[in-house]
Amino acid sequence: MIGVPSSGLHTNGYSLARRVLLSKFAVDEYIPQLKSTLADALLTVHRSYYRVISRLMAQTAVHGFSHITGGGIVGNTMRVVPKGLNLEIDWDSWHRPPIFELIQALGNVPEADMRRTFNLGVGLVVIVPRTKASKTLSLLKAMREKAFVMGEVVSV
């Protein structure tokens, strides 16, 4: 499993994010941890993964793609994983963007809820054969993506 970074919250978790962040900050307040105002952080444009998906499909063996929206990484990725298989995710293999750390800390949000609600900085999961992981990472690097191995699909 290779992760491609998100540009922010994307389309998930806004109710929780607003409840937590607007109880502490004004919408136009500059927040040093975010290096922006709250409004700018919440309104970060959802990036398109079309270019990444189309190039990878043309240049390497891909078993599946998972766009991480409501339902988090596990909920969305399990939709493309056949029965009898499961995900083994290394949750420490990428740096979470500061907005997620801020929401979790200020809202005292349990880790399980964070994982179920947010993309946590992963916008797209690319599932490739282990033998194609290096090639896929090289292709992504050539596209100036900061992709990373985040886990694997395993037998149950």
* pLDDT tens-place string over residues 53-110: 999 999 999 999 999 988 899 999 999 999 999 999 999 999 999 999 999 999 999 9
Q: What mean pLDDT comes out for the span 112-118?
A: 95
Question: What pLDDT is recorded for position 11?
Answer: 81
Residue 55, phi then psi, degrees to nearest 5: -70, -45
The yes/no answer on whether domain 2-155 falls in CATH 3.40.50.970 is no
Read off the tokens for 146: 């900061």
Res. 135: pLDDT tops 90: yes
Give the model's pLDDT for residue 103: 97
| Separation between Cα atoms, residue 60 and residue 132, nearest integer Å | 7
The residue extents of the domains of the chain are 2-155
* CB distance 59 to 141 below 8 Å: no
pLDDT at 70: 82
* Calpha distance 78→71 (Å, rounded): 10
